[in-house]
Amino acid sequence: MNQKELFDWFEKQGLAPLMDDREQHIVNLGNYRDAHPDGYLRLGEATHLRELAVTCDGFADAHLAKIKGLRFLNEVDLPICKVTGHGLSVLPTLPRISRFSFPMWHEADEGLAYIGQCTTLKSLHLQGAFGISDAGLPSLSHLTHLEILDLSYTSVGAGVSIVEQFPELRKLLLILTKVGPGQLRHIIKLDKLKDLWLPDCFSEEDLLSVARLKRLETLCIGGRTGTRGLVALHSLPVLETLYIPRLMMTDDAFESLAGFPNLDIIYLSKHNCTPEQHEWLDARVSARIHVFDDGSGEDQRERQYRYSDWLKLQKQQAGSM
């Protein structure tokens, strides 16, 4: 069967193939809501496949096994499936894999050993994989080309020391993990880090260490941070975006926000300051002020809105009472 016929067959199974117009090969494959998982049993015939994204409850180990040896496949995204840790044994057969995403993975550390053999990986997303713990992380020590690592909503704590093995890391997400102040010494060694999302347990003293990461462009902080910690961050020369979720700020802390030299956007939870404080910021800082609903971090981006719109909404609600 040629690639055009395979394209038509995939579509009939509820899959969503994308064809390379120039070479007439299937290069991208996803699925619609009503897709039949057996449509993926012919994955191996898409010999030039580059990207695979699966949101299919019935997609299991037998289906994933069909990607074995696909030499052009560089991105695999499994947000909804029934693949087990053992099923990931096919990943090391992909010579060009650079991005792997397996969020909401409920198994334990089984499978990390297979991921750890994919030494070409640059981007690894395991957010919400509750079964992942410190015990399994040493399996990833050979991923020395990693640039993005997302361990948010996992059981990782002291094992985050593994990041010292990733000298190329640019983005690290640790939202709602067990990572604590004792592990910060490993993170601040990542001198190429540009994007850092910390859990809420870090204190003002801890931010004095974070200020050593001079390439940071985006930072998410929380916990007990106060004026002194925020002032320390003024020394970050290229910081453009600052998230401050779940942080009750004093007036002095708000005043310190005016001291960031290149800040473009400040994201604040609508629960962590008063309308008057928002108004003070809006008048004195050059950065755009955004607020979001509940301070839960990156997953709330779709609910963010400009400060001016938020204040208008507050006044409208007050007027209707």
Q: Using 50, 70 and 90 to split pLDDT, how confident is the model at 230?
A: confident
CATH no. for 201-321: 3.80.10.10
Amino acid at 271: H
Query: Cβ distance 267 to 304 under 8 Å?
Result: yes
Residue 297 confidence (pLDDT): 43
Quick check: 301 pLDDT over 50?
no
Share of the chain above pLDDT 90, in %: 54
| 69 Cα distance to chain centroid | 27
Residue 135 confidence (pLDDT): 93
Quick check: 253 pLDDT over 80?
no
Q: Using 50, 70 and 90 to split pLDDT, how confident is the model at 319?
A: low
Residue 171 confidence (pLDDT): 98
Report the C-alpha gap between 243 and 175 in whole angstroms.
12
Arithmetic mean of pLDDT over the chain? 85
179-225 confidence digits (pLDDT tens): 988 899 999 999 999 999 998 777 777 888 899 999 999 998 865 56
236-251 confidence digits (pLDDT tens): 999 999 888 765 666 7
Angle at 284 between CA 237 and CA 263, to 5 degrees: 25
| Residue 39 CA: distances (Å) to CA of 72, 151, 177, 314 | 20, 31, 37, 50
User: Which of 83-87, 162-166, 242-246, 263-267 comes out lowest in average pLDDT?
Assistant: 242-246
Quick check: 27 pLDDT over 90?
yes
Residue 315 confidence (pLDDT): 58
Quick check: 298 pLDDT over 60?
no
67-113 confidence digits (pLDDT tens): 999 999 999 999 989 999 999 999 999 999 999 999 877 766 888 99
Q: Closest Cα to residue 270, out of 301, 248, 242, 302? A: 248
Residue 110 confidence (pLDDT): 81
Quick check: 30 pLDDT over 50?
yes
Quick check: 302 pLDDT over 80?
no
Mean pLDDT of 269-291: 70
Q: Supply the DSSP string of 224-266, one letter for each residue.
A: T--HHHHHHGGG-TT--EEEETT----HHHHHHGGG-SS--EE
Which residues make Cβ contacts (< 8 Å) with residue 90, sequence separation at least 6? Answer: 64, 65, 67, 68, 114
